[in-house]
Amino acid sequence: MNFLGSALNSIKPRDDDTVFDRVNYYYSTLIILFAAAVLTAKQYVGQPIQCFVPAEFNRGWEQYAEDYCFVYNTYWVKPGEEIPQNLSEREERQLVYYRWVPFLLALEAGFFYLPVIFWAQTNTKTGLNIANMVKIVQKCDDTEGAEREKAVETICRYMEDSVRLQKVRRDVSTLTEKHLTLGLLHGTYLANMYILTKLLYLFNVIAQFLMMNLFFGTE
């Protein structure tokens, strides 16, 4: 629970995002982590499965049967269909995924949060603190006069420092480095990282659908 609390505390909304970004990395991650925590508590603390057992079974026998069914896997039989007598047919129908659902959900939550980690680690390499600049711009809406001018001067100073840093890097870089920095030396790095982050969000959603389809073994 301490690990879960630490994970939830580290997941915070950013100021340099959009509504769609926040749905992906913040709300989706929190919802999935909550579902994973509930299922984990149900499976490994509570009673994960309940079986119909013969009336002569005492409580110990019933608990053993339920533990065995949970560990060994169950298999699916349609309503009104005869229970297969062939052991191999039962094994083919086994539902093997339900024990791993909490771990899969935790993995999914991590995948949803990866793009924003990528953005946070890459966008500051230009020397610009985008999140801080957004905060300053938001405050400008509520201020006037000298405070607004000071905010504009601060943003301009950030941008000037970034351009100066870009020039220094370009002067000391080799010809190979100039073509392998994803626009860091030409003023397009930030836009490239922003587009790449958006593509990561899209790729994550598609990959999640494919992973879930493979995990459940359905079409």
CA-CA-CA-CA dihedral for 26, 189, 152, 143, to nearest 10: -10
Q: Which two tokens stand for residue 68?
A: 């065995």
Scan for tokens 């990282």, then name that residue: 193
pLDDT the model gives residue 180: 66
The pTM of the whole model exceeds 0.95: no
Residue 216 region by backbone torsions, left for phi larger than 0, else alpha for psi between -120 and 50, else beta: alpha
Give the pLDDT confidence score for residue 198 in this predicted structure. 94
Contacts of 148 (CB under 8 A, 6+ apart): 140
The CB-side HSE value for 25 (13 A sphere, CA atoms) comes to 25
Backbone angles phi, psi at 103, to 5 degrees: -70, -35
The whole-number pLDDT of residue 167 equals 80
Residue 30: predicted pLDDT: 92
pLDDT in tens, the chain (219 residues): 555 556 667 788 888 888 999 999 999 999 999 999 888 888 877 778 888 888 888 888 888 888 888 888 778 788 888 888 888 888 888 777 777 888 889 999 999 999 999 998 888 887 787 888 888 888 777 777 777 788 888 888 888 887 887 787 777 777 776 666 777 777 788 888 899 999 999 999 999 999 888 887 766
pLDDT of residue 140: 77
E strand map for the chain: 74-75, 94-95
Residue 71, pLDDT score: 80
